[in-house]
Amino acid sequence: MKLFISRGAPSPRRVMMFMVEKNITGIEWVTVDLNAQEHKSEAYRAKSPLAKVPALELDDGRVLTETRAICTYLEGLFPDTNLMGVDAEERAFIEMADRRAELYLLGGIANTVRHTHPGLAPLEQPQFPEFGQSQALKVREIAAWFDQLLQQQAWVAGDRFTIADITAFCAIEFARLMKLHPGREGLLALQAWRDRVADRPSANAK
């Protein structure tokens, strides 16, 4: 199998961290150059028709896209260490936590960065800076909510490290591009959690 990634983007990083956490080896990482628009090339679109990265090419030639779907597939193949839930009930609660991290935290950060950062202009046309700035306010609200949550529990989905921590961590790391540093804004529980995740070997996969 081959995993198509891009360096510096949060979604491929989620799958890379997921693989390292599970000690999955033997899947080649192939870099796609977003700035060179390689993801929009005919060759890449033959694999990922909506030009999305990451994408997992299976040995039978089928290609799976969408970060969380790739993780679902890998969790099935490599059940240890479990990161997505051991039964439907736990899977549902972890999925809730993961979606909160993805849709509201990472989604808001991505909207902010894509619409306000000059470096993202090649990927987001047209940019709407005022929309991006309004999203930044919402990101700070949701970051404060995660801070409160992490005052009450050790990890994003509860009492153990899961895929939801990977998603939230990749989001907070990407938020450097909007100059969001939790500790400097008084979000001390969020910062402490971020630092604990940053100490894990998987955080080096990027």
68 binds a copy of itself (CB under 8 A): yes
Distance in Å, CB of 198 to a copy of itself, minimum: 26
Which residues have C-beta within 8 Å of that of residue 92, sequence separation ≥ 6? 85
Member of 2, 91, 200, 206 binding a copy of itself (CB under 8 A):
91
**141 versus 195: smaller Cβ distance to a copy of itself:** 141
Conformational region of residue 160, where left means phi above 0, alpha means psi within -120 to 50, and beta covers everything else: beta
Kindly state the tokens that stand for 4.
């198509």
Please tell me the count of residues contacting a copy of itself according to CB under 8 A. 32
Member of 50, 61, 118, 184 binding a copy of itself (CB under 8 A):
50
Q: In what order do the strands lie in the sheet with 28-31?
A: 28-31, 2-5, 55-57, 63-65
Conformational region of residue 102, where left means phi above 0, alpha means psi within -120 to 50, and beta covers everything else: alpha
What single-letter amino acid sits at 153? Q
29 binds a copy of itself (CB under 8 A): no
72 binds a copy of itself (CB under 8 A): yes
Distance in Å, CB of 58 to a copy of itself, minimum: 9
Q: Which residues pair with 65 in a beta bridge?
A: 55
Kindly list the residues in this chain that would bind a copy of itself in the complex (CB under 8 A): 49-50, 64-66, 68-70, 72-73, 75-77, 87-89, 91-93, 95-96, 99-100, 103-104, 126, 128, 130-131, 134, 142, 145
